[in-house]
Amino acid sequence: MNIALIGSGGREHALCQKIYESKITKNIICIPGNAGTAKIAKNINLDFLNFSKLLKVIKYNKINLVVVGPEEPLVKGLVDFLTKHKIKVFGPNKYAAKLEGSKAFMKSVCEKNKIPTAQFKICKTKKDVNNFLKKSNFPLVVKADGLAAGKGVTICKNKKQVLRVSNEIFKGKFKTSKKLVLEEFLEGEEASYFLIVDKKNFKFFGSAQDHKRVGEKDTGPNTGGMGAYSPAPIINKELEKKIIKKIVNPTLLALKKKKKPYTGFLYVGLMIKNNEPYLIEYNVRMGDPECQVIIPRLKTDLVKIFSSTIRNKLDKINIKWKKLKSMTIVLCSKGYPGKYKKNKKIKYQKDLDSNKKTFIFHAGTKFVDGELVSNGGRVLNVTSTGKVFKDIRNNIIKKIKKINWKEGFFRKDIGWRII
Ligand code: AMP
Ligand code: GLY
């Protein structure tokens, strides 16, 4: 099979590695990929949001399956476009992708189907905001409706802050939408639960916990994710049953009723309080860096899983997992998530190659004239597996120190809650 993988992050390098290991894979192209995928696939530098150009490249390379990594092309309807042109593709359709693309849509699905989530109000005007403020306590969460690259959520301490943040959204700070969702702040512990879904069935695809804040002990501004570990110890069998019954089943059924069934990876972002799950968000893709800790635990051939999914035969495949635990720490460019410099040289050395125990998944990297340089805020994901999280973390930190990239920084406390 010839496979095209869309995206360029650590998530895509992890997927690419597993696709590369499959017996049924022939050629892989990554659009655009990074320096890590360049070693195992052909990178094609192309704007994947230019659907008609993308189609030409897919046809030219005789691609049998397209796997979409990031949310933006999904929300913009890439799956519908490729399906119309008879190209096989793994990922949700445009309507279903609104679960991530519009917080207002996701919240209305929750409301109509009694899915446990924070109390909320969809606001289109200042008046709506003021009305909700009359009966709410602080902190209060303000969320821009559309995609906002992880920057659309603010936890507000007082009324003044709510009004300021809301105003910015109404004025168009996030181009994707001028609507917002105001919601109650939920206390508890966060966990991410993953599924792979076809039109008839779904299967568990791992659990993880990530660290979104840039600073140690989860302080400072939000990032795309500074590290993660899998499995999420907080998710037990009893909780899992509740997640499926109260959250997943009603959501998938609601989309089926609209004749727009969900397919692809589904990322269920949860807050757990007193052993009860509350839905915080849906993402219509794998998490990044969660994918980098889940994929190394997967035993089953990933391409076989994809091909069962697109044939709606997920029930026929047994997805097996290693008993090992897994962790990743993200090596970032200094300054991230604020301003940072690109094109900083990373000395290429044998420590940058993966081995049996440690995997280096590239994110913002590229080769320029044969030299490895940084090309983004999150640069490398140093990942390792083992039996004890503390040992795994020590092993990763040792590796990062060996890589010795002076332009970077990382969090040394990933997994602090469980270590
Ligand atoms: P989201 O983009 O909706 O996942 O929000 C980003 C982050 O904000 C989440 O991972 C949580 O840490 C936090 N967050 C979002 N909504 C809430 C909420 N209702 N209560 C508490 N924390 C929240
Ligand atoms: N790590 C969070 C996300 O992928 O959305």
112 in a domain, yes or no?
Answer: no
Q: pLDDT tens for residues 349-394?
A: 777 777 778 999 999 999 999 899 999 999 999 999 999 999 999 9
Q: pLDDT tens for residues 104-144?
A: 999 999 999 999 999 999 999 999 999 999 988 999 999 99
Q: pLDDT tens for residues 179-215?
A: 999 999 999 999 999 999 999 999 999 999 999 999 9
Tell me what pLDDT residue 201 has. 96
Q: Would you give the DSSP letter of residue 245?
A: I
Q: pLDDT tens for residues 56-66?
A: 999 999 999 99
pLDDT at 176 over 80: no
Q: Band of the pLDDT at 178, cuts 50, 70, 90?
A: confident
Tell me what pLDDT residue 7 has. 98
Q: How close is the Cα of 287 to the center of ligand 2, in Å?
A: 4
Q: Is the CB of 281 under 6 A from ligand 1?
A: yes
Backbone φ, ψ for residue 393 (5° rounding): -65, -45
**Average pLDDT of span 139-164:** 92
pLDDT at 164 over 80: yes
Q: Is the CB of 268 under 6 A from ligand 1?
A: no
* Number of the ligand closest to the Cα of 267: 2
Structure tokens at 97: 């992708």
Q: How close is the Cα of 183 to the center of ligand 1, in Å?
A: 10
* Number of the ligand closest to the Cα of 70: 2
Tell me what pLDDT residue 125 has. 93
Give the structural domain span for 171: 119-184
Amino acid at 81: F
CB atoms within 10 A of CB 295: 24
Q: pLDDT tens for residues 17-46?
A: 999 999 999 999 999 999 999 999 999 999
Q: Band of the pLDDT at 177, cuts 50, 70, 90?
A: confident
Q: How close is the Cα of 267 to the center of ligand 2, in Å?
A: 9
Q: Are 373 and 280 found together in one domain? A: no
Residue whose CA lies nearest to ligand 1 atom number 3: 281
| Domain total of the chain | 4
196 in a domain, yes or no?
Answer: yes
Q: Give, for ligand 1, the residue of 185, 214, 281, 282 to mutate: max count of ligand atoms closer than 8 Å to Cβ.
A: 281
311 in a domain, yes or no?
Answer: yes
* Chain position carrying tokens 């990297």: 365
Q: Is the CB of 264 under 6 A from ligand 2?
A: no
Q: Is the CB of 227 under 6 A from ligand 2?
A: no
Residue whose CA lies nearest to ligand 2 atom number 5: 287
Compute the distance between CA of residue 333 and CA of residue 311 in angstroms, rounded to an integer. Answer: 41
Supply the angle between the helices 103-112 and 249-257 in degrees, to the nearest 10: 100
Q: Give, for ligand 1, the residue of 141, 182, 270, 417 to mutate: max count of ligand atoms closer than 8 Å to Cβ.
A: 141
CA-CA distances (angstroms) from residue 89 to 69, 76, 80, 297, 403?
A: 11, 15, 9, 24, 37
**Average pLDDT of span 408-414:** 98
Tell me what pLDDT residue 143 has. 95
108 in a domain, yes or no?
Answer: no
Q: Give, for ligand 2, the residue of 100, 288, 292, 414 to mutate: max count of ligand atoms closer than 8 Å to Cβ.
A: 288
Dihedral over Cα of 188, 191, 196, 201: its sign: negative
Q: Is the CB of 291 under 6 A from ligand 1?
A: no
Tell me what pLDDT residue 281 has. 97
Q: Are 15 and 60 found together in one domain? A: yes
Residues of the chain with pLDDT > 90: what percent? 93
Q: Is the CB of 240 under 6 A from ligand 1?
A: no
Q: Are 268 and 291 found together in one domain? A: yes
Q: pLDDT tens for residues 268-317?
A: 999 999 999 999 999 999 999 999 999 999 999 999 999 999 999 999 99
326: nearest Cα among 287, 292, 275, 360: 292
Q: Give, for ligand 2, the residue of 153, 210, 295 to mutate: max count of ligand atoms closer than 8 Å to Cβ.
A: 210
Tell me what pLDDT residue 222 has. 87
Q: Band of the pLDDT at 16, cuts 50, 70, 90?
A: very high
pLDDT at 221 over 90: no
114 in a domain, yes or no?
Answer: no
Q: How close is the Cα of 223 to the center of ligand 1, in Å?
A: 12
Q: Are 172 and 200 found together in one domain? A: no
| CATH number of the domain encompassing residue 66 | 3.40.50.20
Q: Are 180 and 199 found together in one domain? A: no
Q: Which atom of ligand 2 is nearest to the CA of 212?
A: 1
105 in a domain, yes or no?
Answer: no
Q: Are 339 and 297 found together in one domain? A: no
